[in-house]
Amino acid sequence: MRPETIQRLSEIVGKDNIYTALEDLYCYTYDASFVKADLNTDLAGVAVYPGSTEEIARIIKIANQEKIPIVPRGAGTNVSGGSVSLGNCIILVLKRMNKILEIDRKNLIAVVEPGVITAQLQGEAEKMGLFYPPDPASQAFSTMGGNVAECAGGPRGVKYGVTRDYVIGLEVVLPSGEVINTGGRTMKNVTGYDMTKLFTGSEGTLCVITKIIVKLIPLPEAKNTMMAVFPEIAQACETVSEIIAAGLVPCALELLDNIYIKNIEEYAKVGLPIDAGAVLLIEVDGDSEILGKQIRKIEQICKGLGAVQIRIASTQMEAEELWRARRSAFAAVSRLRPTIIGEDATVPRSSIPDAVNRIQAIAAKYDLIIAILGHAGDGNLHATILTDETNVEEMARVEKAINEIFIVTVELGGSLSGEHGIGRAKSKFITLQTGEAGLAVQRQIKQALDPHNLLNPGVMFGA
Amino acid sequence: MNRSLESWQNEAIRCIRCGACQNVCPVFKELQVESTVARGRVKLIRGVINKDLDLSEGLIDKMSLCLMCKACVANCPSGVKVDKLVEAARKEIAEKKGLSPLKNLVFRLVLKNRWIFDTGMRTGRFFQGLVFRKGPEGQGVLPRMSLGIDKRRLLSPLAQKTFKSLYPEVVNVPEAKMKVAFFTGCMINYIYTDTGRAVINVLKKNGVEVRIPALQNCCGTPVRINGDYETAKTMAKANIDVLLKENYDSVVVACGTCGLSLKEEYAELLQDDPIYLEKAKKLGSIVKDFTELVVALEGFQDKMGHLPLKVTYHDPCHLARGLRVKAQPRKIIRSIPGVVFQEMDKADTCCGSGGSFSLYHYELSTKINDHKVNTIKQTGAELLVTGCSACRMHIADGLNRQGISVQVMHTAQLIEMAYESKQRKDNEKFGGIGGKGLG
């Protein structure tokens, strides 16, 4: 990058908030996905940490004049390669803009800057008896800006939906450098196109998010947690469908397959039968008086469909113990192989048994270990490929397996990604789902807002 | 351990870059830059291994920006040993680029050679008045001139007499129920002799015979974590020989860092030396933190008198995440009659000291310390107890900077106070001569 450009950027953000050393820039060549930027071609030119919307607008105007690509970034925890550097780009890190501007008890909304950590907002809301439900696994360290840009989901999606269901207004800086506000503080709003929903999940390709208005809901009074063990994964899948069909809506419905069960038991000794086909972890929340009744109904369904072991937590401690199995899942399988690739294919809930079968067949075909863990309640399966990235031959098989998983997902009427995003990791598959005409429409939207392709080029639509 | 940096590749690739370390890394909390969090450090180390990066000044600086507090290790879903990776990188740097001249002098000449260390520290005592001035309320000393150390830095003065010169090698008790060796560590020997005295008094009172082997050295951790393995090995072997010379029921430490090196890290360090590896394991099996030993002594709490104090406790990194000692000091504090124990928020977050880290990165180290001081202040406690002399010094410095009058002491000193309180009461009751303290 030209020294004059760096000088101009430095004048905007201050010399303490700009980084140009190789060792610093090297640390923006990755995010939490397996996508890595090539050091020789895709090292960023500079990383800047702006402190205000106005600074961002000025930075974008410079980028516009000089046609420099911009990669916006929060905590860099996305799992689709949405925030890795591009050759000579500006990495725009929003972590300094980290204030909760207000939590409005009367209107049940919160207004936050993009760098606020999701769990921090949740903690502050809870102190006021309010609830911001989206719960990506990274909630303790990911940012609200990143969550909105990726439309993050989580286990609670089955009952409470995802980030998009809570964002009602945004302040954004457009690729031109102009600042606009979308949506607002009202629950109803049909003035013009729904730009708020368009920008949510736009993966940093249409705008830089600088302020977020989310709606909050009352904090559920209590929770009840149970675990059911099934000899066959098909029985667990059927149970999921039955629970949903019975009109019961748990706030978490997590499925673990046999590979996970075996490893969790070896690692954490939580008392799971190692020959079990699947485990369901189920949690209901709401008014404490009705929870017991709901859990009993779910218990009946589980027993009716062949559960061999059911544990219902009667205290908070016991609930924690049940969750310990789920939480140690990752650490448990990471002992098997050094590299873990988490996929995110999502299918209609009724297709879960089919999807599981076909993923297992793909694993056998390419001689790979693919474990399945999923937010089964919303059809969001996380096929986890356990491999070794230093083994070139095996990685080639991994790539083929991933391709086939995507094809199967779309065949089953599902989505390439439930909550991880397309990023760079899945951009070449996007037409599988959108079709050529569908992709053309999306490209036209991108072209209209970002004619010089400056914001996160390559993400979503490929190079 | 003679592993090459390359051999750590398999540990490094286990990092899945999830970013969970951002939530716990004290350095990242201040700097917020990706290259200063565990995930970034691991990536930089991989960069060196696969030859993307050189051991440049910039890289050396990034590697120095780690407190070795192990918070990332404890919170990593894949359990990546980031501290070991950083240590391996520092070893590579020390071997290929050499240590800084100051570190070279201190590690190779002073810490390694007990007599030079002793002489230096004794001489230091005479001259420290020229260089340091007394801190407010007579606590600690502040540098009068620049020593490469910040002038605001409150350091504790060197003791008038070293701890080991104050006590005989054997502290006898009648009908001893066990015999232990006390590994003092440098800070207790040269600075906080009051902690050492308390350890001896409390153990004596419980019928434990304490030996203080005269030939013990620095544990070697400051040398090892800065990458100088050869010196560290020499020091480890010397300590192993000294501490295994006689049969002890336990080797007691009052410092988590020394304790962890004796208990686990010597065996890692001496992996390639079959004879010393066995010895290191044998030593490791009998090492106990002072509080671990105390809670296992029958009736330790019966000798405690009333102390009307509000107390909070700070977990030293290497005691909590190294030796996994968290419950024992709390049990001790709660068992003292009259003491109100108030847990602070995030008691096991690093105080920012990191040994030599606080000398080389003082500004940053004080920023990290400010959070600790604030959480201490929020408890309303009048006394902060901890199990590490380096934490004690760094937190006392922070409290001083912010003008907060909270006393700081080692867990052993609090027990000593409680024992003295009962002794005084008993003396009054039985008309004895009070004030003689423990005996």
Tens digit of each residue's pLDDT (9 = 90 or more) over B353-390: 988 788 889 899 999 999 999 999 999 999 999 999 99
Same domain, A260 and A213: no
* Any domain includes A462: no
Q: How far is CA B297 from CA A435, B201, B209, B303, in A?
A: 74, 14, 13, 12
Q: Which of B43, B65, B97 is the last residue of a domain?
A: B97
- Quote the minimal CA–CA distance from B353 to chain A in Å: 24
The answer to whether A334 faces chain B, any CB pair under 8 Å, is: yes
* Any domain includes A141: yes
The pLDDT of residue B153: 57
Please tell me the total count of domains within chain B. Answer: 2
Q: What is the arithmetic mean of pLDDT over A332-351?
A: 86
How sure is the predictor about B3, in pLDDT bands with cuts at 50, 70 and 90? confident
Name every chain B residue with its beta carbon within 8 A of the beta carbon of A96. Answer: 32
What is the rounded radius of gyration, in angstroms, for the C-alpha atoms of chain A?
23
Closest CA to A240 of A371, A375, A134, A370: A375
How sure is the predictor about B436, in pLDDT bands with cuts at 50, 70 and 90? very low
Name every chain A residue with its beta carbon within 8 A of the beta carbon of B59. Answer: 23
Same domain, A377 and A269: no
How sure is the predictor about A332, in pLDDT bands with cuts at 50, 70 and 90? confident
pLDDT, averaged across chain A? 93
Q: Do A339 and B13 touch (CB under 8 A)?
A: yes
Same domain, A376 and A429: yes
Shortest CA distance from B19: residue in chain A = A77
The pLDDT of residue B106: 67
CATH number of domain containing B404: 3.40.50.10700
* Any domain includes A158: yes
Same domain, A209 and A236: no
Q: Which of B41, B64, B97 is the last residue of a domain?
A: B97
Name every chain A residue with its beta carbon within 8 A of the beta carbon of B13. Answer: 338-339, 388-390
Of the listed ranges A194-208, A211-225, A306-320, B106-120, the one predicted with least confidence: B106-120
Name every chain A residue with its beta carbon within 8 A of the beta carbon of B62. Answer: 23
How sure is the predictor about B432, in pLDDT bands with cuts at 50, 70 and 90? low
* Direct distance between the N- and C-terminal alpha carbons of chain B, in angstroms, rounded to an integer: 45
3-state secondary structure B23-74: HCCHHHHHHCCHHHCHHHHHHHHHHHHCCCCCCCHHHHHHHHCCCCCCHHHH
* Any domain includes A269: yes
Same domain, A349 and A438: yes
* Any domain includes A459: no
CATH number of domain containing A408: 3.30.70.2740
Q: Which domain holds residue B48?
A: 6-97
Phi, psi values for residue B218, rounded to 5°? -55, 145
Percent of chain B with pLDDT over 70: 85
Residue B238 CB contacts under 8 Å (≥ 6 apart), including other chains: B215, B217
B192-207 core/surface letters (b: 16 or more CB in 10 A; e: else): bbbbbbbbbbbbbbbe
pLDDT, tens only, B208-258: 999 999 989 899 998 898 888 988 999 999 999 999 999 999 999 999 999
Residues A38-45: contacts with CB within 8 Å, 24+ apart?
A39/B52, A41/A87, A42/A84, A42/A85, A42/A86, A42/A87, A43/A85, A43/A87, A43/A88, A44/A71, A44/A85, A44/A86, A44/A88, A44/A89, A44/A90, A44/A91, A45/A1, A45/A5, A45/A6, A45/A20, A45/A88, A45/A89, A45/A90
pTM: 0.90
Closest CA to B55 of B24, B9, B96, B16: B96
The pLDDT of residue B112: 66
* Any domain includes A181: yes
Q: What is the arithmetic mean of pLDDT over A299-327?
A: 90
The more confidently predicted of residues A272 and B345 is: B345
Same domain, A107 and A211: yes
Looking at the DSSP bridge assignments, the partners of residue A143 are A117
Same domain, A18 and A114: no
Please tell me the total count of domains within chain A. Answer: 4
Residues 354-373 of A with CB under 8 A from B: none
* Any domain includes A37: yes
Q: Do B44 and A23 touch (CB under 8 A)?
A: yes
Q: Do B43 and A26 touch (CB under 8 A)?
A: yes
The more confidently predicted of residues B108 and A82 is: A82
- Quote the minimal CA–CA distance from B56 to chain A in Å: 9
Same domain, A174 and A159: yes
Q: Which domain holds residue A364?
A: 338-445
Q: What is the arithmetic mean of pLDDT over A138-163?
A: 95
Option in B18, B52, B62 nearest A32 (CB): B18
The more confidently predicted of residues B2 and B34 is: B34
The answer to whether A24 faces chain B, any CB pair under 8 Å, is: yes
How sure is the predictor about B121, in pLDDT bands with cuts at 50, 70 and 90? low
Q: CA–CA separation, B19 vs B31, rounded Å?
A: 15
Option in B9, B23, B58 nearest A23 (CB): B58
Q: Do B78 and A340 touch (CB under 8 A)?
A: yes
The yes-or-no verdict on residue B150 having pLDDT over 60 is: no
The pLDDT of residue B127: 47
* Any domain includes A160: yes
The yes-or-no verdict on residue B113 having pLDDT over 70 is: no
The yes-or-no verdict on residue B97 having pLDDT over 70 is: yes
Strand order in the sheet with A100-104: A100-104, A109-112, A208-215, A167-173, A179-183
Q: Do B20 and A140 touch (CB under 8 A)?
A: yes
Q: CA–CA separation, B76 vs B296, rounded Å?
A: 32
Q: What is the arithmetic mean of pLDDT over A216-220?
A: 96
Of the listed ranges A17-26, A377-386, B40-49, B272-281, the one predicted with least confidence: A377-386
Name every chain A residue with its beta carbon within 8 A of the beta carbon of B16. Answer: 32, 334, 339-340
Percent of chain A with pLDDT over 90: 79
The pLDDT of residue B430: 77
Most confident of A258-262, A330-334, B130-134: A258-262
The more confidently predicted of residues B114 and A226 is: A226
CATH number of domain containing B56: 1.10.1060.10
Same domain, A106 and A214: yes
pLDDT, tens only, A413-463: 999 998 999 999 899 999 999 999 999 999 999 999 999 999 999 999 886
* Any domain includes B185: no
The yes-or-no verdict on residue B260 having pLDDT over 50 is: yes
Same domain, A248 and A270: yes
Q: Do B40 and A27 touch (CB under 8 A)?
A: yes
Same domain, A194 and A164: yes
Of the listed ranges B8-22, B140-154, B183-197, the one predicted with least confidence: B140-154
* Any domain includes B193: no
Show the tokens assigned to B121.
């520290």
Same domain, A114 and A58: no
Q: Which of A93, A127, A146 is the last residue of a domain?
A: A93
* Any domain includes B318: yes
* Any domain includes B374: yes
CATH number of domain containing A77: 3.30.43.10
How sure is the predictor about B31, in pLDDT bands with cuts at 50, 70 and 90? very high
Name every chain B residue with its beta carbon within 8 A of the beta carbon of A19. Answer: 33, 35
How sure is the predictor about A349, in pLDDT bands with cuts at 50, 70 and 90? confident
Q: CA–CA separation, B345 vs B336, rounded Å?
A: 22
Q: What is the arithmetic mean of pLDDT over A251-263?
A: 92
Residue A166 CB contacts under 8 Å (≥ 6 apart), including other chains: A132, A133, A134, A214, A215, A216
The yes-or-no verdict on residue B201 having pLDDT over 50 is: yes
Shortest CA distance from A75: residue in chain B = B19
SS3 at position B340: strand
The pLDDT of residue B63: 95
- Quote the minimal CA–CA distance from B17 to chain A in Å: 5
Option in B16, B23, B43 nearest A140 (CB): B23
* Any domain includes B260: no
* Any domain includes B203: no
CATH number of domain containing A266: 3.30.70.2190
Strand order in the sheet with B383-386: B340-341, B310-314, B383-386, B407-410
B356-388 core/surface letters (b: 16 or more CB in 10 A; e: else): bbbbbbbebbbbbbebbbebbeebebebbbbbb
The pLDDT of residue A273: 87
Shortest CA distance from B30: residue in chain A = A96
Q: Do A30 and B33 touch (CB under 8 A)?
A: no
* Any domain includes B238: no
The yes-or-no verdict on residue A129 having pLDDT over 90 is: yes
How sure is the predictor about A378, in pLDDT bands with cuts at 50, 70 and 90? confident
Name every chain A residue with its beta carbon within 8 A of the beta carbon of B77. Answer: 330-331, 334
